[in-house]
Amino acid sequence: MPALAYFLLPQKSAPGATPPSGKARPQQPEVAQEVAPESLRRTEQGEVVGCAGLHNTHAWLGLPYAQPPVGPLRWKAPRPALAWTGVRQAVACGAPAMQLGGIALELPPDQWGKPAGAEDCLTLNVFAPQHADAATAALPVMFWIHGGANSSGTAATYTTLRNLAGRDQVIVVSANYRLGIFGWFSLEELAREDDTPADRSGNFGTLDLVAALHWVKRNIAAFGGDPDNVTIFGESAGGQNVYSLLASPLAAGLFHKAIAQSPIVTSHSLAQARNYRNDTEPGHTLSSRELLCAWLQRDGRAANREAARALIAAMPAADIEAFVRGLSAQALLAPVKPGALNFYEAPTVLQDGHVLPRGPLAEAFADRSTYHAVPFIVGTNRDEYKLFMSNNPDYVRMMFGKLPVMRNRARYQRHAAYMSALWQTSGALEPASAMLASGHPDVWVYRFDWDEQPALPLIQPQVLLGAAHVLEMGFVFRDLDGEFDPFHSYTTANLPGRKEVSDAMAGYWTHFARHGEPGGAADGRPEWARWQQDAAQPRLMVFDTSADGGTRMVVHHASKATLKALLADDASMRHNPRERCELYGRMFVWSIFGGREAPEALAALANKHGYTGNTEALRSTFWP
């Protein structure tokens, strides 16, 4: 982790953000921007005033859209926000959701992996042109969902969204939502007789986003926005949450278009969320039962896991509820071990049958009656997986303890290409094709290819990172000044190319938000054709500079079957059956993108190519 801090720490702090502390943030933080009196607006909860920003914008930061999910409301569906008296000064972002601190919160390395944020986190931010108010023509609304593996992150990172508000005359909203084990947690003993089905669902993070969209529907007109023209968009886990909102019947009518950037489409069954890991239907290692065992041991009430299981079996449900509700947020996070980028994997996006369908999320898009068939853009970055490989000691060594240098450039590029293509196939192409096959024609697909980082010796970021995960966001946000530059990629030399790609992406995104299709020709950009079944026709939009082919439509085909065939016949690994087997395992046995096949498939490949080693032992080099 520390090795990539140089590349991953943003250059500037998010305006209006204050350092997370693990405790609830005061209503009026000490660090705040100056009030703009002319920004007075009236919401259902009361009057609010914000601050002025670049590009002739106003921002209202840290607006509560639901009651704090604390005390008896921990692990409950969000309740409507309470009214206030007087004029609320909304000039500083609200507290991040509880999480393990790291790069996503711009914390110093000595605070990484430690609890940060607050349970009182259900706030949103609104960015609008200064002239926009209830009396003006209603502007399109774009609702941003931040990423971070659904365990990390904050809306405060993305105040550069104001660029879209000012430059493109749209209203932009960004929201915090509960994360990790606070946002998705299903423990039967928490249920009470007066609970709603939503309270029992375990999908609290998803419900938070639904509640924020309800707030938008009821209040956004006061800021000049059109509640009947809302586009949701998000990146990575934010893209996954776009998929979950597309599939949630509770989100019906709350949005009218959707964009998923670098999404994943995974979900977890209730058995995975609830059961012990060695049950007949195995639970996740951070299931509610496994966490309960860990909490009891940490509290000194059980000597080991077996004793904890016996104690749980004997405890009345009311005692279990009282125990877990009495634990501090820090105690709840204590058994959770940080992974890559201080994210952690816990069961999220639960198949509860009320908020989300009972089956896998990906299957919802095969039947038009089981999702909201709104106009949809989806895509990935060409080198998605390099962000995670660049921290993996299997792929890089650390010069001077902090500079990542590729061990084997050819192997690095080969594995990145396969893993990134698998992400594209699983996260974008398969859902897009499923929607099209279900009778939904209004789907557009893209790939982001920009890779013109400065050519630093040894590190070679244009190869090490390339068009990596998260890189496209600054281009979508029209950030040419480097406020959101996570890899320190922006230079004066590459500014013209960055502007070219940014103008294209932001132009398509906001045209889509305004009109329901990305357009192109009328705005001097290539016409973006819809995704279609005929793989021999141009159906994928590529975003790149003119020096590398420019923004253009291309013929493109990929599928898991195609990738398996390419891997099986890849001549570059003809003399290295171990590498071929390792890469197959990374892609299709251990990865969330490849379906997590049974180990027998890997053993069959090993036998075919003459690898005699222990295929299961190859997993020790896998980077989750």
Token code pair at residue 548: 């590398």
Pair 94, 16 in one domain: yes
| pLDDT at position 599 over 50 | yes
H or E, element range at 338 = none
Pair 351, 389 in one domain: no
CA nearest to 237, candidates 144, 313, 355, 303: 144
Per the rule left: phi > 0, alpha: psi between -120 and 50, beta: everything else, 176 is: beta
User: Would the CA dihedral through 476, 211, 59, 168 be positive or negative?
Assistant: positive
Contact 555, 537 (CB under 8 A): yes
> Final residue of a domain: which of 558, 578, 609?
558
Which pLDDT score, from 0 to 100, does residue 624 have? Answer: 39
**CA gap 94, 117 in Å, rounded:** 10
H or E, element range at 260 = strand 257-261
Pair 541, 573 in one domain: no
Contact 210, 245 (CB under 8 A): yes
* Average predicted confidence (pLDDT) for the chain: 92
CB atoms under 10 Å from CB of 335, counted, come to 17
H or E, element range at 4 = none
User: Distance between alpha carbon 174 and the CA centroid of its chain, in Å?
Assistant: 13
| pLDDT at position 3 over 60 | no
Average pLDDT over residues 558-563: 94
CA nearest to 17, candidates 35, 29, 5, 6: 29
CB atoms under 10 Å from CB of 383, counted, come to 25
| Dihedral angle over CA of 507, 510, 511, 514, nearest 10 | -160
Per the rule left: phi > 0, alpha: psi between -120 and 50, beta: everything else, 244 is: alpha
Which pLDDT score, from 0 to 100, does residue 25 have? Answer: 31
Which pLDDT score, from 0 to 100, does residue 32 have? Answer: 66
> Final residue of a domain: which of 374, 403, 437?
374
| pLDDT at position 2 over 80 | no
Pair 291, 412 in one domain: no
Which pLDDT score, from 0 to 100, does residue 620 have? Answer: 62
| pLDDT at position 20 over 80 | no
Parallel, antiparallel, or unpaired for β 171-175 and 139-145? parallel
Pair 206, 95 in one domain: yes
- Phi/psi of residue 396, nearest 5 degrees: -130, 155
Tens digit of pLDDT for each residue in 450-479? 999 998 888 899 999 999 999 999 999 999
| pLDDT at position 21 over 80 | no
The answer as to whether 489 is a domain residue is: yes
Contact 16, 33 (CB under 8 A): yes
Least confident of 131-140, 198-207, 508-517, 606-615: 606-615
- Phi/psi of residue 404, nearest 5 degrees: -75, 125
Average pLDDT over residues 218-233: 98
Q: What's the pLDDT band for 362 if we cut at 50, 70, 90?
A: very high
Q: What's the pLDDT band for 302 if we cut at 50, 70, 90?
A: very high
The answer as to whether 235 is a domain residue is: no
H or E, element range at 601 = helix 599-609
Which pLDDT score, from 0 to 100, does residue 617 have? Answer: 73
Share of the chain above pLDDT 90, in %: 83
**CA gap 229, 510 in Å, rounded:** 12
At residue 51, the 3 state secondary structure works out as strand
Pair 334, 370 in one domain: yes
The answer as to whether 323 is a domain residue is: yes
Tens digit of pLDDT for each residue in 129-163? 999 999 988 999 999 999 999 999 999 999 999 99
Average pLDDT over residues 338-348: 89
Instruction: Give the count of alpha carbons within 13 A of 109, CB side only.
Output: 8
Pair 354, 464 in one domain: no
Identify residue 365 by its one-letter amino acid code: F
Pair 96, 122 in one domain: yes
The answer as to whether 256 is a domain residue is: no
Q: What's the pLDDT band for 18 if we cut at 50, 70, 90?
A: very low
| pLDDT at position 402 over 70 | yes
Q: How many angstroms separate the first and last alpha carbons of the chain? A: 14
Question: 137: buried, middle or exposed (CB in 10 Å: 19+, 13-18, 0-12)?
Answer: exposed
Pair 482, 358 in one domain: no
Which pLDDT score, from 0 to 100, does residue 600 have? Answer: 85
CA nearest to 510, candidates 15, 170, 22: 170
Identify residue 372 by its one-letter amino acid code: H
Q: What's the pLDDT band for 596 if we cut at 50, 70, 90?
A: confident
Average pLDDT over residues 53-68: 97
Question: 19: buried, middle or exposed (CB in 10 Å: 19+, 13-18, 0-12)?
Answer: middle
The answer as to whether 239 is a domain residue is: no
Pair 421, 500 in one domain: yes
**Domain carrying residue 314:** 1-230+261-374
H or E, element range at 175 = strand 171-175
If one counts the domains in the chain, the total is: 3
> Final residue of a domain: which of 356, 374, 392?
374
Tens digit of pLDDT for each residue in 412-442? 999 999 999 999 999 999 999 999 999 999 9
Residue reference for tokens 């009361």: 46
Which pLDDT score, from 0 to 100, does residue 9 have? Answer: 33
Which pLDDT score, from 0 to 100, does residue 621 have? Answer: 57
Which pLDDT score, from 0 to 100, does residue 296 have? Answer: 98
| pLDDT at position 410 over 70 | yes
Pair 188, 271 in one domain: yes
| pLDDT at position 14 over 80 | no
The answer as to whether 243 is a domain residue is: no
Parallel, antiparallel, or unpaired for β 47-49 and 87-89? parallel
Pair 197, 327 in one domain: yes
**CA gap 346, 360 in Å, rounded:** 16
Contact 390, 341 (CB under 8 A): no
The answer as to whether 482 is a domain residue is: yes
Tens digit of pLDDT for each residue in 239-282? 999 999 999 999 999 999 999 999 999 999 999 999 999 999 99
Contact 351, 360 (CB under 8 A): yes
Which pLDDT score, from 0 to 100, does residue 7 have? Answer: 38
The answer as to whether 474 is a domain residue is: yes
Residue reference for tokens 């790291």: 102
- Phi/psi of residue 63, nearest 5 degrees: -75, 125
Helix axes 305-314, 288-298, angle to 10 degrees: 110
CB-based contacts of 1, cutoff 8 Å, min separation 6: 102, 109, 112, 340, 341, 342, 391
CATH for 70: 3.40.50.1820
